Amino acid sequence: MKNKIIDGNNTFSTTLKILGENIQKIRIEKNITLKDLSERTGIRERYLKKIEKGTAARITAAHLYKIADTLEVEAYLLLYE
């Protein structure tokens, strides 16, 4: 991740794409499969795939915090480019 936080110039879809890329990168670095992440968070694997690809229609704060907690990172760090 770079040190630039997502700013107001990004569209919502760009923000979701960056968020998804960061989740996927951290998950892979920690050797956590999508299946494992799904089991640990209680979030469906199919939905997690959409989040990582940036194609989810939305992500709730509750899901964001569950994912961040499971990946052992602060949720706001997932918003950095």
pTM equals 0.84
Per-residue confidence at 1, pLDDT binned at 50, 70, 90? Answer: very low
What pLDDT score was predicted for residue 10? 58
24: β partners: none
Question: Once rounded to an integer, what is the mean pLDDT over residues 51-74?
Answer: 95
Nearest to 28 by CA among 20, 13, 3: 20
- Integer Cα distance of 59 and 48 in angstroms: 10
Enumerate domains of the chain plus CATH numbers: 12-79 (1.10.260.40)
A 10 A CB-CB count for 3 gives: 6
CB 78 within 8 A of CB 22: yes
